[in-house]
Amino acid sequence: MDARCSRRAWRRRVLDAALAISLVAVHPVVVLAQPGESCRKLTSLRIPDTTIESAAVIEDGNFNPPGATNSIRRLPPFCRVTGITRPAIGFEVWMPLGKWTGRFEVVGNGGMAGTISYGSMAAALRRGNATASTNTGHITQPTGSGFDASWSLNRPELVEDFGHRALHLTTVNGKQIAREFYRKSVNHSYYVGCSKGGGQGLMEAQRYPGDFDGIVAGDPAYNWTRLYAGAHLYYAMSTLKDPESYIQPAKVKLLADAVNQACDAKDGFTDGVLDDPLACHFDPAVLACKQGQDPGTCFTPKQVKAVKDIWAGSHDDRGRQIFPGLVPGGEGGSGGWQSWVTGSAPFHATHWKAADSFFRFMVMGDPNYDPMTFDYDRDKGALDRLAPALDAIDANLRPFERRGAKLILYHGWSDPDISPLNTIHYYKAMEQATGPGTSNFARLFLVPGMQHCGGGPGTDSFDAVSAIERWVEKGVAPVQIVASHSTHGVVDRTRPLCPYPQMAVFSGKGNPNDAANFVCRVQQVTEGN
């Protein structure tokens, strides 16, 4: 797979995962008279520090994203607006011509962003929503595969835009464009994103609580600086700094199979999914090579240590955790350790690619810097300088709550990029900040067997968007969200996703592939491996 195909595959996975399956409900709609003329007139709209570059009607149901080889099909006719906000925030707003639900849905980015999230915009448009996306103020270089940070070198204003300003201004400007086009204000505004996009959602809830009525934030990269130091770089150091620590793809499968054999049946049946990874206390030392054993069928001491380090997470010199470790169960499959995200780059190399560009250009400001020499305790100050722009760690969402806004968090238990424990920690911090009423406006759903924003052996397709709409517009809080797993396009398993700290527990009767045979219940588990 060439670099361009890998990049497209990665973007499709991260940017579209939260919108993979959207149930089209019946909603009141707005029908606009003479939409074509209304669209073309938007080029004359005046917005501070912003230029509307184009406004044109797309009627044939197909759209060819700039630079892409494949078109997006099955789109309703829409008005496409492109613009730029100073210094370099590119954005697009798409508005359905025929029937509009009255909703405005902004979609997030992945990785280091740098592109418009066309696939996610298309999903929102098909729902009948007006939608917007931004490149967050920069263009990703072709060699970056979603992790390019070269644009940030000595450009603190672009870092600020990437961290929070671009999405906020796109939201504000997009609402104004929609109001001008439809001659009425939006009824409800929503945000949907995963990974970087999940972190963007939490940044919005914290810094700009008035922007959205509802937010769906998946696998959120909210504490960005610690994620890159304590996960991306840490995993790369654990497996690449010493060549003897490198874990070959065949051994990743060996580890995955051993974990499943030890822990899969703990939930009462065997299906290739660890419903509760925190109950799995597998010791990778059992895979250590014995005297005379073929080294291709076992783990060397340094490889065993690398696995233990990744599961334990990173710590500073005083033993304080920098970033929580991954949990057992996410190693196998095309989206696991063996081949994470791009479908071509191994777990080790992908994390290294992400860390390498970030530390050279954004953290240290030196294209020749070697991130393998980074020392967290010695060099933490360089990260701290970036934290105000990039990190969304304030768990006190009372301003967001007081508006009546709602938040759905979700995270795949088998995520090999961002530990699900990281999101659990944030939700617990929210409970400490806002008290026992947290679940009245915010709920977390953990997805067994789902990898980063989708994929994996678990039920990774679910409609969090309709759930947030019902919660905001009808006051119906999600007590569970039914998810499905498909093989070759055919659904072969359904499972309820339960609000944390509940989890889906098999009743012991009926087919374990049917969501109807599970109940949501709090299970007492001990965090750790």
Q: Which residues are catalytic?
A: 195, 415, 452
CB 42 within 8 A of CB 222: no
CB 116 within 8 A of CB 83: no
The residue assigned the tokens 């960005």 is: 224
Helix axes 301-312, 233-240, angle to 10 degrees: 170
Task: Round to whole Å and give the CA distance between 366 and 110.
Answer: 24
Whose CA is closest to 129, among 107, 158, 156, 154? Answer: 107
Q: How far is CA 135 from CA 92, 106, 113, 150, 197, in A?
A: 9, 12, 6, 15, 12
Count helices and strands in the chain by DSSP H and E runs: 15, 17
DSSP-assigned beta bridge partners for residue 110:
none
Alpha carbons within 13 A on the beta-carbon side of 322: 26
Helices (H), 347-485: 347-357, 376-390, 398-402, 420-434, 464-474
Three-state DSSP class for residue 96: strand
Cβ partners under 8 Å of residue 187, min gap 6: 101, 102, 103
Stated as kind and residue range, the H or E segment containing 78 is: strand 78-85
Tokens representing 17 are 């995962």
Stated as kind and residue range, the H or E segment containing 522 is: strand 518-522
Exposure class string for 215-232: b at 16+ Cβ within 10 A, else e: bbbbbbbbbbbbbbbbbb
- Output the DSSP codes for 188-232: EEEEEEETHHHHHHHHHHHH-TTS-SEEEEES---SHHHHIIIII
Residue count of the chain: 529
CB 428 within 8 A of CB 155: no
